[in-house]
Amino acid sequence: MIKNKNTQKVVLITGASSGIGEATARLLAHKNLRVVLGARRTNKLEAIVSEIRKKGGVAEYRALDVTSLEDMQAFVDFAKHQFGRIDVVVNNAGLMPLSKLEMLKIDEWNRMIDVNIRGVLHGIAVALPIFKQQQSGQFVNLSSIGGNTVFPNAAVYCATKFAVSAISEGLRQESTDIRVTVISPGATQSELASTTTDAEAAQWVAKFRELIIPADAIARAIAFAIEQPEDVDVSEIIVQPKG
């Protein structure tokens, strides 16, 4: 087990049952941070937490649907009850069903808005009062390279990630006692691409994802932001495949 100066921090991670969320939980636990995993698939969370504990890490989990404010409140309350405080919220849960706007996949648009935007806002809403009371805390919000530029088939997805960046920047400007970090991954190994139902968009995604980086690359960026001294706020990190 690697020890560091942030060893007592309690880190909450949404969307932790796979991909970036899972990789982040495993890495931070290895670094001796205390992690609380949230996602809808509790069978996967249970398996991940069991493996973390076998390796000497400290981890808990709870079922979580980020689109529900009540669920998010219960998730944060659970973590605070277990450890007495929370220090970092990693708003990672996200969806990426891509399609051209003319396909009018309105249900998919709404689901992305609910998870990718409202889910982040819910994470902020329930943790911010605690951070303000503690006069310390950090939000790590997962955006995307799609939060900096727009791609065909991805207008709504990119819009949700632009929103994450805007919300994060606004929160940063309004705050003097908390840290706000945006992590913007490029093509990364995850289950996101599997949510695309449109055949033409799926072909575009497959081409775009011919070069991908492992989820652990994003986990390392998140760990870097968390490990900085308290007077350092890493505002944004963009991580993309080489070339």
Catalytic site positions: 157
Distance, CA of 35 to CA of 23 (rounded, Å): 12
Cross-strand bridge partners of residue 117: none
- DSSP strand pairing (179-185 vs 58-63): unpaired
- Can you list the positions of beta strands (E) in the chain? 10-14, 34-39, 58-63, 88-91, 138-142, 179-185, 236-239
* Crossing angle of the two packed helices 155-174 and 119-134, in degrees rounded to 10: 10
Distance, CA of 128 to CA of 125 (rounded, Å): 6
The per-residue DSSP string of 54-97 comes to: HTT-EEEEEE--TT-HHHHHHHHHHHHHHHS---EEEE------
Residue 180, φ and ψ in degrees, nearest 5:
-135, 120
Q: Indicate the SS3 state at residue 228.
A: coil
Distance, CA of 220 to CA of 215 (rounded, Å): 9
